[in-house]
Amino acid sequence: MAGLATAFGSGAMTNSINQLLQTNVILLVGANTTEAHPVTGYRIKQAVKDGSRLIVVDPRKIELVRYADLWLRIRPGTNVALLNGLAHVIMRDDLWDKQFVAERSEGFEEWRQGLEQYTPEYVANICGIKPELIEEAAHLYAQAEKATTVYAMGITQHTSGTNNVFAIANLAMVTGQVGREGAGVAPLRGQNNVQGSCDMGALPNYYPSYRFVDDSAARQDLEKAWGVSPEAGAPGQPNGQGPAGLPVEPGLTVTEMMKAADRGEIKAMYIMGENPVLSDPDANHVIEALKKLDFLVVQDIFLTETAELADVVLPAASFAEKEGTFTNTERRIQRVRKALEPPGEAKPDWLILVELANHLGRPWHYPRGPEEIMEEIARVTPLYGGISYARLEETGIQWPCPTPDHPGTPWLHAEKFTRGKGRFHRVEHLPPAEEPDREYPLLLTTGRMLYHFHTGTMSRRSKRLEAIHDHELAMLNPDDASHYGICDGDTVQVESRRGKVKTKVQVTDHVPPGVLFMTFHFKETATNLLTNAAVDPICKIPELKACAVRVSKV
Amino acid sequence: MERITVTINGNQYQALKGSTILKAAEANNIHIPTMCYEEGLSIPGCCRMCVVEVKGARKLLAACTTPVTEGMEIQTESDRVVEARKDILRLYLASHDLRCLTCERNGDCRLQDYCYRYKVEDTPYRGEQKKYPVDISNPFFFRDYSKCIMCGKCVRVCAEINGAYVYDFMEKGFDSKVTSAFDDPNQETACTFCGMCVQVCPVAALVEKSVMWAGRPWEMQKVKTTCPYCGVGCQLKLKVKDGRIIGVAKDKSGSNLGHLCVKGQFGWEYVHSPDRLTRPLLRKNGKLEPVSWEDAYNHIARRLSSIRDQYGGQALAGLSSAKCTNEENYLFQKFMRTLIHTNNVDHCARL
């Protein structure tokens, strides 16, 4: 998200899901849509059947490879080299959009100089593909009337994640493939409301609407709106003491929080609806860190692996038991409606927060519930300024929607980029933080499969999904399988420098030689015991897509 | 868009040039019955339920495939049209499992609705009846081809939207049937169990297992909401009876246009899992034990404020949730920033 936000001024998907049907060329990089975002996967297939061209960049032989005109099976962690290589060919063959670059971008010259060494031959060698493929893909993308780049965690979950996104943004700008209906950049959000959580400022450096916490104008606005006095010792301050106003220092990200907890700097945590023990990299480290806390509150619908470590566990309501809104990957704010009562004494998360605030001496009061909270959101969140439940009754609205009469925004950056001019960023290829070596010779990459979701908390308690698929099935290339004497269906131990797990193996050319693929859906095979918590230096996303492991038959 | 004038059942209406008779009629609130037509799929025009009489045309024309032309005069319910539709319905009834009493689609069945609309009580066409075994082998839905009317919507939605190409027409004449290759059960095909075939079936040839014996269609409340799984944000309707979800119906108002995947269609059972937390728990002597909300709140308020006051807000951190609503995320960050006095708030956006 930081990458696109820096390049364009907004980290969100630029266009709408159904505009994929109007796109002439789709460049799909590091996104297994037919399993992780199936309905978007349907749209890509529909587009191809309708005549669109598809370029798939993925080490895995994902389902959409069957629909692709070109498949660039690059080595994991070599995205920057490839994307720079595409740009090199576009410049070399004079296929760039000079007017777009001149009028709408900055930083072009410096960026251009950085491309020189990324010749097709140089890149082909890094990525392990043929140079002609790079040239063909570059021509196809640059010459399309409308092209869209679709990407997901295969791009972001690397130590070079932000650079990967910069490289995608560079490519879109140099070819003018952004800011039009059907032409843009589409990061696909993994969770139902990742977009909304970010919009609402559930981030260490942003208030709602992506206003920086160290922007004093934003801070003053919110101090006023939230009734926090900017004077020290005033009511509303902790214990009537403490520093003045809202905190100025940007906070810590999840991965940093765990490290700070491990060092004893974080003493207490409040975790609402997350399961970092299974979702975060290097799970052993996460468990140790959480155990060191003086106090841990977990609020969830199940006693998750994280909740088991808590001092207090609060029972929450599921999506079917409360009113509210989710914001989808195309920035569309949509209603969630109450269909049932929560079980037992469980309560919706918003109500728990209000009541807990009351117990901490704050007179939070929303008698009309989430609808009234949305009214407050609209007042302090310019992107949501025109949103109200009345307007969301029939169908959702795509932000920015600043006023009650604004129809919403199907595509961003139409006249100018959110930040004014789009910014080119020179990026260089760097290998993953941990590469296979003699001791740990295979590269583990992780992801999702169709029938389950994230840490399995929801999908594995849906017995019909569980009936179809109930265990991890790691994917190993036939070459590696024969080298290690492993057969399809065998149980193996997978070991990294951080931990080990047992799993069944599927022998398949879905993965290239030297690569092992696993999901993180199954707690019996907690794949994140293996993964590396090394993070991207800018947006702090951990490198879940590449770490070194070894396998042995058990 | 250019508009033209057409006459339907003696009244003049405006219609978009290039639209079909069916679309022009629907736009003017005139309902023509259809079996094989489904918005968003290709139009085979094979069921002939939508036939209408057009002045100057020798034969009845299928409304779903015939474009309107300037001055066209259309009769949608003339004697000739109604007689043709009745005959089609009688042919359907000639080989249809008529155990409507216990059929899950009773009250929500196109065949039943149209037989009622055209007063078709019986069929004069007597002969062999199709009797296929019901396939109940997959966990999500059953296939009962004795009730199939061969509209082919499942064939098209699977091929044209999902791309799995599981179904097709097999055999000819009376023996023809819609099925998978070699009649294989779905779990042995490329089926991804998105359930879209179930959603488009106009009768009870494909039915969600979860609604079996769970309630009649008219007893179910349908609550429109947003899928809780991935970021696509599919719109769907929860079928609710007696405080429990029993299934999912499609909703066409969102970007998903009524399309879903296996998780949205069938992945809701966790809501009723016996593992759900139902009471606040507090750790006492190393064990989590049930307490009242009041005790839980008081304990949390005391501990959070004492740690905040002793070490400052920077010693606390909060994880909000990409599974929670906007309203909840908003309150959570407001809670951490204004009550705990820290910007240490994040969620799993990066994972």
Q: Are B27 and B64 found together in one domain?
A: yes
Which residues of chain B have a CB within 8 Å of the CB of A39?
A: 232, 234, 255-256, 259-261
What does the pLDDT read at residue A236? 42
Residue B316 lies in a domain: yes
Q: Are B290 and B237 found together in one domain?
A: no
> Which of B14, B43, B77 is the last residue in one of the domains?
B77
Q: Do B277 and A42 lie within an 8 Å CB cutoff?
A: no
Residue B303 lies in a domain: yes
The length of chain B in residues reads 351
CATH number of residue B272's parent domain = 2.20.25.90
Q: Do B323 and A465 lie within an 8 Å CB cutoff?
A: no
Q: Which of the four pLDDT bands, split at 50, 70 and 90, describes residue A531?
A: confident
Q: Name the closest residue on chain A to residue B194, using Cα atoms.
A: A38
What does the pLDDT read at residue A241? 52
Which residues of chain A have a CB within 8 Å of the CB of B327?
A: 324-325, 350, 370, 373-374, 377
Q: Which of the four pLDDT bands, split at 50, 70 and 90, describes residue A234?
A: very low
> Which of B14, B45, B77 is the last residue in one of the domains?
B77
Asked if A529 and B338 touch (Cβ cutoff 8 Å), the reply is: no
Closest CA to A50 of A139, A124, A146: A146
The token pair that represents B164 in the structure block? 């799995």
Residue B240 lies in a domain: yes
Integer Cα distance of B14 and A450 in angstroms? 46
DSSP H or E stretch at residue A402: none
Q: Do B340 and A295 lie within an 8 Å CB cutoff?
A: no
Positions of chain B with pLDDT under 70: 349-351
Asked if B19 and B28 touch (Cβ cutoff 8 Å), the reply is: no
Mutate to test the interface with B, among A39, A156, A535 (most CBs of B within 10 A): A39
Is the pLDDT score of A230 beyond 50?
Answer: yes
- Nearest CB among A37, A254, A346 relative to B230 is that of A37
Which residues of chain B have a CB within 8 Å of the CB of A253?
A: 346, 350
Is the pLDDT score of A280 beyond 80?
Answer: no
> Which of B254, B276, B298 is the last residue in one of the domains?
B276
Residue B263 lies in a domain: yes
Phi-psi region of A508 (alpha: psi -120 to 50; beta: other; left: phi over 0): beta
What does the pLDDT read at residue A161? 84
Phi and psi dihedrals of A519, rounded to 5? -95, 175
Integer Cα distance of B95 and A463 in angstroms? 36
DSSP letter at B135? B
Integer Cα distance of A347 and A339 in angstroms? 14
Between the alpha carbon of residue B263 and those of residues A122, A191, A328, A458, B267, the distances in Å are 43, 13, 16, 10, 4
By three-state DSSP, how is residue B226 classified?
strand
The per-residue pLDDT of chain A, averaged, comes to 92
Residue B24 lies in a domain: yes
Residues 265-284 of B with CB under 8 A from A: 266-271, 273, 275-283
Integer Cα distance of B1 and B68 in angstroms? 14
Cα of A402 to nearest chain B Cα, Å: 17
pLDDT in tens, A155-187: 888 778 889 999 999 999 999 999 999 999 999
Q: Name the closest residue on chain B to residue A541, using Cα atoms.
A: B350
Mutate to test the interface with A, among B141, B165, B350 (most CBs of A within 10 A): B350
Q: Are B71 and B58 found together in one domain?
A: yes
Q: Are B311 and B329 found together in one domain?
A: yes
DSSP H or E stretch at residue A25: strand A25-29
What does the pLDDT read at residue A235? 42
Cα of B289 to nearest chain A Cα, Å: 9
Which residues of chain A have a CB within 8 Å of the CB of B324?
A: 193, 197, 272-273, 324, 349
Q: Do B161 and A464 lie within an 8 Å CB cutoff?
A: no
Residue B139 lies in a domain: no
- Nearest CB among B334, B344, B350 relative to A542 is that of B350
Which residues of chain B have a CB within 8 Å of the CB of A373?
A: 327, 330-331
Cα of A91 to nearest chain B Cα, Å: 33
The token pair that represents A275 in the structure block? 């399961």
Q: Are B315 and B251 found together in one domain?
A: no
- 């810590």: which residue's tokens? A252
- Answer whether B91 touches A (CB < 8 Å): no
Q: Could you give the angle at the alpha carbon of A144 between the alpha carbons of A143 and A145, nearest 5°?
A: 115
Q: What is the DSSP string of A83-107?
A: HHHHHHHHHHTT-S-HHHHHHHEES
Q: Are B24 and B38 found together in one domain?
A: yes
Asked if A24 and A146 touch (Cβ cutoff 8 Å), the reply is: yes
Residues 202-241 of B with CB under 8 A from A: 209-210, 221, 223-235, 238, 240
DSSP H or E stretch at residue A28: strand A25-29
Integer Cα distance of A299 and A268 in angstroms? 14
What does the pLDDT read at residue A276? 87
At residue A311, what is the residue type? D
CB pairs under 8 A between A and B: 478
Cα B33–chain centre separation: 19
Which residues of chain A have a CB within 8 Å of the CB of B237?
A: none
Q: Name the closest residue on chain B to residue A272, using Cα atoms.
A: B320
- Nearest CB among B187, B235, B278 relative to A346 is that of B278
- Nearest CB among B332, B346, B351 relative to A204 is that of B346
Q: Are B234 and B259 found together in one domain?
A: yes
What does the pLDDT read at residue B349? 66
- Nearest CB among B163, B296, B312 relative to A45 is that of B163
Cα A410–chain centre separation: 21
Per-residue burial over A512-523, b if 16 or more Cβ lie within 10 Å, else e, is: bebbbbbbbbbb
Integer Cα distance of A14 and B51 in angstroms? 44
Residue B341 lies in a domain: yes
Asked if A59 and A31 touch (Cβ cutoff 8 Å), the reply is: no
The token pair that represents A138 in the structure block? 């570059």
Phi-psi region of B163 (alpha: psi -120 to 50; beta: other; left: phi over 0): left
Sign of CA dihedral B72, B76, B79, B80: positive
Q: Do A192 and B140 lie within an 8 Å CB cutoff?
A: no
- In this structure, the number of other CB atoms found within 10 A of the CB of residue B261 comes to 31
Residue B289 structural domain: 281-347
Reported for B74-79, long-range contacts at CB under 8 A and 24+ positions apart, including other chains, are B74/B6, B74/B7, B74/B8, B74/B9, B74/B21, B74/B25, B75/B8, B75/B9, B76/B8, B76/B9, B76/B25, B76/B30, B76/B32, B76/B52, B77/B9, B78/B53
- Nearest CB among B325, B332, B346 relative to A253 is that of B346
Q: Name the closest residue on chain B to residue A269, using Cα atoms.
A: B317
Name which of A58-72, A233-247, A378-392, B126-140 the model is least confident about: A233-247
Q: Are B267 and B285 found together in one domain?
A: no
Q: Name the closest residue on chain A to residue B317, using Cα atoms.
A: A269
The token pair that represents B234 in the structure block? 């599919």
Mutate to test the interface with B, among A345, A359, A519 (most CBs of B within 10 A): A359
CATH number of residue B55's parent domain = 3.10.20.740
Cα A125–chain centre separation: 29
Which residues of chain A have a CB within 8 Å of the CB of B138?
A: 468
Cα of B218 to nearest chain A Cα, Å: 16
Which residues of chain A have a CB within 8 Å of the CB of B251?
A: none
Number of folded domains that form chain B: 3
Q: Do B233 and A192 lie within an 8 Å CB cutoff?
A: yes
- Answer whether B285 touches A (CB < 8 Å): no
Between the alpha carbon of residue A77 and those of residues A127, A128, A385, B85, the distances in Å are 9, 11, 40, 62
Integer Cα distance of A397 and A446 in angstroms? 33
What does the pLDDT read at residue A284? 84
Is A426 exposed, middle or buried, given 0-12, 13-18 or 19+ CB atoms closer than 10 A? Answer: middle
Q: Taking residues A502-519, what's their average pLDDT?
A: 94
Q: Name the closest residue on chain A to residue B252, using Cα atoms.
A: A395
Order of strands across the sheet with B51-54? B11-16, B3-8, B73-75, B51-54, B61-62
What does the pLDDT read at residue A233? 47
Q: Are strands B3-8 and B11-16 parallel, antiparallel or unpaired?
A: antiparallel
DSSP letter at A551? E
Mutate to test the interface with A, among B209, B226, B245, B281 (most CBs of A within 10 A): B226
Q: Are strands B345-346 and B316-319 parallel, antiparallel or unpaired?
A: parallel
- 């939230």: which residue's tokens? A226
The token pair that represents B286 in the structure block? 């190393």
Which residues of chain B have a CB within 8 Å of the CB of A272?
A: 318-321, 324, 328, 332
DSSP letter at B105? T
Is the pLDDT score of A243 beyond 60?
Answer: no
Residues 175-194 of B with CB under 8 A from A: 187, 192-194
Is the pLDDT score of A244 beyond 70?
Answer: no
Which residues of chain A have a CB within 8 Å of the CB of B198?
A: none
The length of chain A in residues reads 554
Residue B85 lies in a domain: no
The token pair that represents B113 in the structure block? 């609705």
Q: Do A251 and B231 lie within an 8 Å CB cutoff?
A: no
Integer Cα distance of B324 and B347 in angstroms? 10
Is the pLDDT score of A137 beyond 80?
Answer: yes
Integer Cα distance of A46 and A48 in angstroms? 5
Helix/strand/coil (H, E, C) string of A469-529? CCCCEEEECHHHHHHHCCCCCCEEEEECCCCEEEEEEEECCCCCCCEEEEECCCHHHCHHH
Which residues of chain A have a CB within 8 Å of the CB of B311?
A: 267
Q: Are B307 and B291 found together in one domain?
A: yes
DSSP H or E stretch at residue B15: strand B11-16
Which residues of chain A have a CB within 8 Å of the CB of B271?
A: 318-321, 340
At residue A82, what is the residue type? L
DSSP letter at B222? E
Q: Do B282 and A311 lie within an 8 Å CB cutoff?
A: yes
Name which of A23-37, A258-272, A407-421, A534-548 the model is least confident about: A534-548
**Cis peptide upstream of residue A400 (ω within 30 degrees of 0):** yes
Global pTM?
A: 0.93
pLDDT in tens, A300-348: 999 999 999 999 999 999 999 999 999 999 999 999 999 999 999 999 9
Q: Are B339 and B299 found together in one domain?
A: yes
Q: CB within 8 A of A203, min separation 6: which ones?
A: A197, B333, B345, B346, B347, B349
